[in-house]
Amino acid sequence: MQYVTKAFFMALLFLTGVVSAQEWPNRPISLVVSYPPGGTADLMARTVATPLGKVLGTSVVVENKPGASGQIAASYVAKANADGYTLMLDASSYSVNPSLFPKLPYDPNKDFKTLAVLAQYPNVLLVNPSFPAKSVKELVAIAKAKPNSISYASSGNGSAQHLAGALFEVKAGVDMQHVPYKGGGPALNDVIGGQVPVFFGSVASTKQYVDSGKLNALAVTGKKRASSMPAVPTMAEAGVPGYEVYEWNGIFAPSGTPAPILIKLSDAIGKVMASPEVREKVLSLGGEPFQGNSEAADKFIKAQMAEWAKLVKTGKIAEIDALMVKYV
């Protein structure tokens, strides 16, 4: 009798999920972005929000909750109702935070379901025009002559920019000073203003400043040159072999979201990313649409977690108590 009752209860839960999925969505969906306006994560969220809403038959509202390398947004969404109305768009920091921060206010392996990785973007090594180095080799020479004399900005501890800088230190054999900000927008503004000389920014959010002469691009961090910056060499071409870093953006739902709703969301995101308009937008920003479904996306993210854990162990990125981190 006990087993019959349990089976009936499980069947009832499944049917409840199916019914709720049939009625879903009947109100706006909140897409919480882990970084502030102006960065790649925000650009990607606003690129997909409107077409995703059209596919689902409702509006998708972008809501920025920046800070603590995405932890503020992740903690908020992890505690949200698992009803499909609160989603998160996060960045590469999602895959490094478990190694970087020993006391996360959420568990990425238990609190979220991966819906999709939208796109991968190479970063670009940028310097303020007043900085004396005009090439990667000149930058490395200065850094080796005066260790820790060069600072680089990032969107936060554990962010893609931080990882790019730390890996650059390892591969180039130099020591630099990391300056974390609350998002790529504020970091970029200070590099343009000359407060910090170096930045590993996304091609997507920095191309306009390179084109206008407000920043100098020394190298891109991908395996091949960015189509939107064809004159800028790869890091390997510039003299740092074995260096490859991409920023990526993914969409997540709280664990416990009914499976039928997760399927609807994954299918809808897939349709959006396959549309010529969105693909063209991603390519114009220097990115590559991710190839694969939600299972492939989850596998990719777990592999990223393992890869960045290795970098953390080198000592270039030390473990940080999340409650003790101070941001600029």
Q: What is the DSSP track for 273-315? A: HHSHHHHHHHHHTT-EE--S-HHHHHHHHHHHHHHHHHHHHTT
Identify the pLDDT of residue 202. 80
Alpha carbons within 13 angstroms on the beta-carbon side of residue 203 total: 33
| pLDDT value of position 261 | 98
Each residue of 232-262: pLDDT tens digit? 999 999 999 988 888 899 999 999 999 999 9
CA distance 3 to 15: 18
- Strand-pair partners of 153: 179, 199
pLDDT in tens, 54-96: 999 999 999 999 988 899 999 999 999 999 999 999 998 899 8
Q: Is 177 helix (H, G, I), strand (E, B) or coil?
A: strand
Cis (ω within 30 of 0) for the bond into 25? Answer: yes
Q: Report the run of H or E that residue 88 belongs to, with start and end.
A: strand 86-90
- What's the pLDDT score for residue 173? 95
Residue 327: pLDDT band with limits 50, 70, 90: very low
Please give the residue that has the higher pLDDT: either 171 or 9. 171
Q: What percent of the chain has pLDDT over 90?
A: 64
Token readout for 216 is 């100098």
At residue 241's C-alpha, the angle toward residues 237 and 242, to 5°, is: 130
- CA 157 to mean position of chain CA atoms: 13
Q: Which domains does the chain carry?
A: 2-120+248-313 (3.40.190.150), 122-220 (3.40.190.10)
CA proximity to 50, closest of 277, 261, 260: 277
Q: How far is the C-alpha of 228 from the C-alpha of 204, rounded, in Å?
A: 9
Question: Mean pLDDT throughout 202-228?
Answer: 90
- Taking alpha carbons only, the member of 232, 227, 246, 237 closest to residue 122 is 246
Alpha helices (runs of H) in the chain, residue ranges in sequence order: 2-23, 40-56, 71-78, 93-100, 136-145, 160-172, 184-193, 203-211, 259-274, 276-284, 294-313
Categorize the per-residue pLDDT at 10 as very low, low, confident or very high, splitting at 50, 70 and 90.
low
Nearest CA among 172, 183, 187, 155 for reference residue 219: 172
Indicate whether 320 pLDDT > 70.
no
Strands 246-254 and 198-202: unpaired
Mean per-residue pLDDT of the chain: 88
Judged against a pLDDT cut of 70, whether residue 322 lies above it is answered with no
Helix (H, G, I), strand (E, B) or coil at 71: helix
Strands 86-90 and 246-254, sheet pairing: antiparallel
| pLDDT (tens digit per residue) in 127-171 | 999 999 999 999 999 999 999 999 999 988 767 788 899 989 999
- Whether the CB-CB separation of 20 and 258 falls below 8 Å is answered with yes
Q: Residue 110 above 80 pLDDT? A: yes
